[in-house]
Structure 1
Amino acid sequence: MCGIAGWIDWTRDLSDDGRTLKNMTDAIEHRGPDAEGSWLKGHAALGHRRLIVIDPDGGKQPMLYQNEKNTIALTYNGELYNYLELRKELTERNHPFTTNSDTEVLLRAYLEWGEDCVRHFNGIFAFGIWDEEKEKLILGRDHLGVKPLFYKIKEDQILFGSEIKALLAHPDVQAEIDTEGLSEVFGLGPMKTPGKAIFKDIYEVRGGHYMTVTKNDRKTVQYWKLESKEHKDDVETTVQTIRGLLEDTVKRQLIADKPLVSMLSGGLDSSGLTAIAGKEFKEENKVLPTYSIDFVNNEESFKEDFLRRDLDEPWVKRVSDHVGTDHTSIVFDAEKLVDNLLIPMRARDLPGVGEIETSLYLLFKEMKKDATVALSGESADEVFSGYPWFHQEKFLDADVFPWLLNIGGIAGVLNEDLKDWLNIKEYQKQRYQEALAELPVLEGESDVEAKQRRMSYMFITRFLPFMLDRKDRASMMTGFEVRVPFCDYRLVEYLWNIPFEMKNIDDIEKGILRRAFEGYLPDDVRNRRKSAYPSTKDDAYLAGVQKWMNNILDDSTSPILQLIDVEAVRKIADGESSLPDSSAKGLLDYLIQVNGWLKEYSIKVAI
């Protein structure tokens, strides 16, 4: 994994602008702490920060192809899991290779297939290719958008980078937010609209898309999307297909020249992947290291809620003993979570979900001490329709994104003038209707089946991008790569058309996945009900963010004061509101981050 940045200006020679390019790549040094590279010629400046995972000597970037007529330069972040097959195919098509890296495979794939090369890839990737002869830039992103890619077009130039901070390091880019950006921040929260970057005039290449940009033309192509069709496989065939796809995907994603480990929560998703990976390790006479997270006083203070049914750690031990992993549990206290609250915001360049992201960042920071790569069970709930909302009328019948019914309230603390100006409810409905218009319907489905397909689409295309962003930024902030087997596009395509009733077979969420893991996991683990990513229940954490918020409210220079109803927030910070502690904690987490974001990024609010 790596960080990329680039700058094309069709009216200038950028050969002497190395300092500006270096500022852009330095801003994302954390994504690639092992090496840096740059290439500047004519109208193009491409930069790279490298985290070495495969082929330490051969994967240096930017990577060039040159002949007497043309130079093609590539800067790339990601992994191609089918690069060995592609290399073989390209070799048969008379392409020579001088390295063992997937970077060279991507470059050669462009030489062979042009922009259609993306249709041949299975992996997680974001790249920029400069074709000097055509004076054309190609920006491409993987099917689900696991790897990030942002850009800004201004007059005759385009800037791009793995993170927004790379663009903000350029002198022509200002940190500014307008009405639409505020509506995203307070109306949708961290689950922003795909393609939007919140900052004014900065956008992202959406997953499953690529862009081509020349001086006089810009084109965006969706090369992959979900297609609805009848699922004709019976249950047993479906189970075996899922099992086969997961086994193949995990095996592909275990390839690394650096130490690899697995995340293990004791839940179905990470446990199943750990079991598959553990089997592969055993066949090579190795032991798979695994890691989990826990909190000080968690056993004493744990309370069951809508998303968390029981403690993870007993199940973690059960799976680790069964698979035979070398397990480490990382424990954090409330003070450490509070002290590090703003780091994930700096990683994302945007406010996030507070201590849930903070603990994830701290976990990766510890894991990085022992490894460079990890497997994660992220996205199984989205692609297997695992959330309880899929069978509850309140959520199925909603005319907004279903998660907003549970996590609404951010807009409720805005001041009255801003509430009237933004009209958040209307904005939420507008974005929901845009998503609905994309939905590939299937004729002949029942009303309930159609609603469940609709909800599945919302989770895959609107909620999952947030989850992937969270994991990418939290891991890459520590120079650590996390792979997500459940995001293999072949698996996602197949699951998309499996009826919810079959996904939910045996009258339990993700029942079809539980059957696929039969033989890999003990029955009690396979039948454990879903419990979400852990959150601290320690009262000390709530007290810490309440104190922090009061300090913000007492500081007349706090930028958030111009946006919020100060007295309403004060009541929450003083523990005098009617909000449950969990809701108060989440809201204060978010407002603290918004204030820190506005202040640290010196954001100009233009409304």
Structure 2
Amino acid sequence: MCGIAGIVAVSGTPESMRGSVMKMMDAIRHRGPDGEGTWLDPARPVALGHRRLAIIDPEHGKQPMTTEDGRYTIVFNGAIYNYLELRRELIGRGHPLHNYSDTEVLLYAFREWGERCVDRLIGMFAFAIWDRLEQRLFCARDRIGIKPFYYHFDGQKLGFASEIKALFADGSLKAESNSDGLQDYLTFQFCLNEKTLFKGVQKLEPGYHLSAWYEGSQLKIKTSQYWDLQYNIDERHDERYFVDNLAALIEDSVRMHLRSDVPLGAHLSGGLDSSAVVCLASRMLGGEQLKTFTGAFHEGPQFDETGHAKAVSAFAGTDYNEVYIPGSELADLLPKLMHFMDEPLAGPGLIPQYYVSRLAGEQVKVVLGGQGGDELFVGYARYMAAYLEKCLSGAINETANQHRYAVSLESIIPNLSLLKTYQPMLQGLWREGLFASTDQRYFRLIDRSEGMSHLFNPDAFDKGYSPFESYQKIFNREGLHSLVNQMTYFDLKGSLPALLHVEDRTSMAASIESRVPLLDHRIVEFMATIPPNIKFAGGRMKHLFKESVRNAVPQSIFERKDKMGFPTPLTQWTKGVARDFVRDTLLSERARSRGLYNAQSVEKALNSESEFGRVVWGLLCMELWHRNFIDGDLQPGGI
């Protein structure tokens, strides 16, 4: 786990190239406190930089790393979990591997298989390889988007890095807001496709690679997709088959994710996903006690899962550690977190996630977590809400049996109690547009702009872009077969990368590596083959996953119905201990002068925010983001 940076340019002296890439690495030094390195091509203005967090083969994995013949040089961020298997194969093919680092394995995998090496990788990765012979750069990002990769290209220079702030480090690129990205953020609290909140800065999308090469005196780049999820439905097998094979895949993934040459621990919330990972990991480690890390709040039982986490810890025999998160530190912490985040994506779970990462960083260098379980295994209440409406429409219009993978109203009735605490969501969903098209209805469930749009000056954004149309292209992709696949596919492409962004930034701010074994691409691909009427039979959320880990977790966790999802008492803070900070930030003359906000409407929103509302959070993050990056109030250094 590391930070990478690089430049490929039409012109530039070796001194200027080295100076620029050193500044880029300084901006992301928190990603790699164990060392740094640079490499320059003597024939071209090409520079690669690397900050290292030493996890696998700490003695020999230094980067940038070059093949023995001097042709290929790599900078790599991530972890290749099947590196031992690939290493044996590459040695068998005659490659001179001398150490046990996954970086060397990846480098020689590219030498053997070229661009198709990505098909052989199990892991999380963002890397760049310079080919001195062909004078060509090849970059790739993992299939799910666990590791980040950003770039800027102006026709004369390509700059890339693990974090956006590094692209501004040498002063050649100015931070400016991107109107389309801001509209995405207001709608979803993340950006779709390759967009970021910054003009001229793009992210390499998950499952994509990028190439750069010279044509005479010009520099060219191209991005292309090497992987996307295919829903090739398996009609030949029954539920038992899918449960057994899912269990085997999860166990194999956890086993591979335990490969580490440094101390290792795990996040533990007390929910099913992290509990399953912890219990499996602890069992596999045998006599080695696993350290687990849990966070909670003093604001009430609805914000505290430590009872469940302790039960899992006792069951699995882990070394339990916990931290209670104070709202009194919000004013000091949040501006600094915005600096580490680059973009204020997703919700206030960012705050506890950072505190737990910091706690873990005091004892270990690697943590496992349960991220991705809700998107893969159909675990969000909004999925049930969408299906309830669809089933009602099918029952009323007598169309329920017209679809191959239909879920009937009768079948979901026994599980509707799961929506007991989500009645306000249902009221909002059904207030207007009931029984409209499926894409419009799911959009209503994820659209965060309804409570925010009136707070902004309508002339602040370009009129030619529609977040809904961008969403539609993903949601309505051909070959998804059913509503459950449409919803989970969009979340795999939209909200999950935002959550992984938070996972990456909070762990890297604490200089630890975060691993997410449930997002092994083999598990993701397997779930896509399962018939929707088995995957979401009767609206039973996470049914197959629960059955696959039934014997691994405590019975109390298996039977839990009070899904919490690490809620944060943000509204209590913003109306209490952090009230002055929030109001001073959002109602300041500085905020008013941007021309973005309607100050009167913002003040009303501050007073009327519901307990788990996200309006104030979205506003606060946007203003702090503007201050940090657009205004230049950078927050370098650690927290």
1:427: how far off?
1.6
Cα pair distance change 1:559/1:603, threshold 3 Å: farther
- Alpha carbons 1:212, 1:220 under 8 Å: kept: yes
Amino acid corresponding to residue 278 of structure 1 in structure 2: S
Question: For 2:474, which of 431, 435, 442 is the aligned residue?
Answer: 435
Cα pair distance change 1:485/1:459, threshold 3 Å: same
- Asked if residue 281 in structure 1 is aligned to residue 309 in structure 2, the reply is no
- Alpha carbons 1:150, 1:197 under 8 Å: kept: no
Tell me the equivalent position of 1:383: 376
Which deviations, in whole Å up to 9, do the C-alpha atoms of 1:239-273 show, x marking residues without a partner? 11011001100010001111100111111111111
Tell me the equivalent position of 1:597: 625
Tell me the equivalent position of 1:100: 100
Tell me the equivalent position of 2:564: 531
Partner secondary structure for residue 363 of structure 1: helix
Separation (CA, whole Å) in 2 of partners of 1:188 and 1:522: 35
Cα pair distance change 1:591/1:554, threshold 3 Å: closer
- Alpha carbons 2:187, 2:447 under 8 Å: kept: no
- Asked if residue 230 in structure 1 is aligned to residue 233 in structure 2, the reply is yes
Separation (CA, whole Å) in 2 of partners of 1:130 and 1:401: 42
Partner secondary structure for residue 575 of structure 2: helix
Separation (CA, whole Å) in 2 of partners of 1:554 and 1:320: 45
Gaps of 5+ in 1: 304-310, 443-449
1:66: how far off?
4.7
1:406: how far off?
5.9
1:148: how far off?
0.1
Which deviations, in whole Å up to 9, do the C-alpha atoms of 1:470-504 show, x marking residues without a partner? 11111111111110011100000000122343234
Separation (CA, whole Å) in 2 of partners of 1:537 and 1:566: 21
1:362: how far off?
1.5
Tell me the equivalent position of 1:268: 272
What number of residue pairs does the alignment pair up?
575
- Alpha carbons 2:350, 2:502 under 8 Å: kept: yes
1:277: how far off?
0.4
Calculate the aligned-residue CA RMSD, in Å. Answer: 2.2
Cα pair distance change 1:437/1:138, threshold 3 Å: farther
1:172: how far off?
1.8
- Asked if residue 482 in structure 1 is aligned to residue 481 in structure 2, the reply is no
Partner secondary structure for residue 582 of structure 1: coil
Question: For 1:503, which of 535, 545, 555 is the aligned residue?
Answer: 535
- Alpha carbons 1:78, 1:123 under 8 Å: kept: yes
Residues 184-195 of structure 1: matches in 2 within 5 Å? Answer: 184-189=184-189, 191-195=190-194
- Asked if residue 255 in structure 1 is aligned to residue 259 in structure 2, the reply is yes
1:524: how far off?
2.5
Separation (CA, whole Å) in 1 of partners of 2:325 and 2:136: 49
Which deviations, in whole Å up to 9, do the C-alpha atoms of 1:153-210 show, x marking residues without a partner? 1122200000001111132211012432332232332x21131122111111111111
Partner secondary structure for residue 193 of structure 1: coil
Separation (CA, whole Å) in 1 of partners of 2:593 and 2:559: 46
TM-score of the superposed pair, with normalisation by structure 1: 0.90
Separation (CA, whole Å) in 1 of partners of 2:158 and 2:472: 30
1:14: how far off?
3.3
Tell me the equivalent position of 2:314: 321
Residues 115-514 of structure 1: matches in 2 within 5 Å? Answer: 115-189=115-189, 191-216=190-215, 217-231=220-234, 232-282=236-286, 285-299=287-301, 302=302, 311-353=304-346, 355-393=348-386, 397-399=438-440, 401=443, 403-405=445-447, 408-418=450-460, 421-422=461-462, 427-436=466-475, 438-442=477-481, 450-505=482-537, 508-514=540-546
Tell me the equivalent position of 1:558: 591
Amino acid corresponding to residue 273 of structure 2 in structure 1: D
Worse-matched range after superposition: 253-262 or 316-325: 316-325
Amino acid corresponding to residue 411 of structure 1 in structure 2: S
Tell me the equivalent position of 2:414: none
Amino acid corresponding to residue 533 of structure 2 in structure 1: E
- Alpha carbons 2:384, 2:539 under 8 Å: kept: no
Separation (CA, whole Å) in 2 of partners of 1:211 and 1:107: 16
1:224: how far off?
1.2
Separation (CA, whole Å) in 2 of partners of 1:407 and 1:557: 23
- Asked if residue 33 in structure 1 is aligned to residue 63 in structure 2, the reply is no
Partner secondary structure for residue 256 of structure 2: helix
- Alpha carbons 2:178, 2:196 under 8 Å: kept: no
- Alpha carbons 1:197, 1:203 under 8 Å: kept: yes
Amino acid corresponding to residue 198 of structure 2 in structure 1: F
Partner secondary structure for residue 78 of structure 1: strand
- Alpha carbons 1:79, 1:124 under 8 Å: kept: yes
Tell me the equivalent position of 2:612: 582
Percent same amino acid among aligned pairs?
A: 31
Worse-matched range after superposition: 547-556 or 165-174: 547-556
Partner secondary structure for residue 214 of structure 1: strand
1:505: how far off?
4.9
Tell me the equivalent position of 2:418: none
Separation (CA, whole Å) in 1 of partners of 2:525 and 2:593: 43
TM-score of the superposed pair, with normalisation by structure 2: 0.86
Worse-matched range after superposition: 213-222 or 250-259: 213-222
Separation (CA, whole Å) in 2 of partners of 1:342 and 1:560: 19
- Alpha carbons 1:127, 1:139 under 8 Å: kept: yes
Separation (CA, whole Å) in 2 of partners of 1:555 and 1:187: 24
Separation (CA, whole Å) in 1 of partners of 2:527 and 2:543: 13
Cα pair distance change 1:480/1:401, threshold 3 Å: farther
- Alpha carbons 1:176, 1:603 under 8 Å: kept: no
Partner secondary structure for residue 489 of structure 2: helix
Which deviations, in whole Å up to 9, do the C-alpha atoms of 1:537-591 show, x marking residues without a partner? 7834432443223213553233764101101111233x2x3x42432xx322222
Partner secondary structure for residue 45 of structure 1: strand
Amino acid corresponding to residue 214 of structure 1 in structure 2: W
1:298: how far off?
2.6
Separation (CA, whole Å) in 2 of partners of 1:502 and 1:569: 46
Gaps of 5+ in 2: 390-428, 430-436, 633-639
